[in-house]
Amino acid sequence: MTAVPDVPRVLVLRALGLGDLLTGVPALRGVRRAFARHRIVLALPASLTEAALATGALDEILPAEAPDRAVPRLDHWPGPPPDVAIDLHGNGTESRDALAALAPRRLLAHAHRDPVTGRRPVWRRDDHERERWCRFLGAYGIPADSDDVRLPAPRAASAAPGAVVVHPGAQSAARRWPAPRFAEVAGRLRALGHRVVVTGGPSEDALVLDVAGRARLPGRDVLRGGLPFGALSALVARAALVISGDTGLAHLAVAHDTPSVTLFGPISPRLWGPPPGPRHRALWKPGPPGDPHGDTPDPQLLRIAADEVTDAARTLLRPGPAGRPAPDMRPRNGDEVRVPPARP
């Protein structure tokens, strides 16, 4: 990026993953409205540039990332200091200090007492992620609507319009439901007449092939290599249903109002789940919270059975193109829980 003379700039730090970006959209749009005459710059990984610009909430990005969700360096910021710097990355001193090092005229951060208000925002462990950052901005008098999550319809064509999208991957093993169970669900839905495609990230080809092979999907329905964001967004926007774990694709389904079934564990949907409503089903087995970045599947996630996922999918799907009868639309399993986000 380059500095634009005589245009004040706002730098927002949220250098995390796709799901973090999409849950931060309501806050980013609040920033956009509050600083309408400023140039809004978002610091995040360069791989998320297309997704970030699709939100319509910013003007450009500052490429920034660090391994393991750490705070990246920002010393490549060009030109004069930002007029305002906003920490949407976390509540610690490291992200605050990375922004403070740029000497902004005003800094908004959980770990910083604002000289204008004399206060700093309160961090609440039980806030839903979308509401957390809207509440944070509200402490500075900046309104933001936590329901403002929708993305515009993508222009690109879908690789599989009307298909069920099964996405078995996740950044950490703790949030990955077993491949054989995803394959079982995919096979059952295909037998009901629905087209099913499997997707994965750039490093998840082996997982995608495993699920597709077990489900006996044709080659055209195996989407390997990690789709570019534009193609992925079009696929999700025009899908009949998205089935995934608690990962970025689940948030993309919410952003496009595409029906979804999301498998939660070890973190409750009360903290990261979809908004309440009939188009999204969050499956969750209540229990003590675990490590969302752990290297083994979470025990609560493993308690979700393939039957439950299939039944949840059938409640959201119309009959397949083979013309089979419409499924029973009533939920069948009393263990399936849809927990709405926490409210203040």
Helix axes 306-316, 179-191, angle to 10 degrees: 40
CB 130 within 8 A of CB 26: yes
Give dist(CA 281, CA 168) in Å, integer. 16
Give dist(CA 268, CA 280) in Å, integer. 15
SS3 235: helix
Residue 333, pLDDT score: 33
Helices (H) and strands (E) in the chain, counts: 12, 11
Neighbours of 302 (CB within 10 A): 14
Q: Which DSSP symbol is given to 108?
A: E
Task: Name the pairing type of β-strands 60-63 and 39-44.
Answer: parallel
CB 45 within 8 A of CB 20: no
SS3 39: strand
SS3 100: helix
**What's at 61, amino acid-wise?**
I
Please report, to the nearest 10 degrees, the dihedral formed by the alpha carbons of residues 153, 158, 160, 164 taken in order: -20
Q: Which DSSP symbol is given to 150?
A: P
Residues in the chain with pLDDT values less than 50: 320, 322-344
Using one digit for the tens of pLDDT, what is the confidence trace for 225-237? 999 999 999 999 9
Residue 324, pLDDT score: 42
Cβ burial of 115 (10 Å; 0-12, 13-18, 19+) is: exposed
Give dist(CA 198, CA 160) in Å, integer. 10
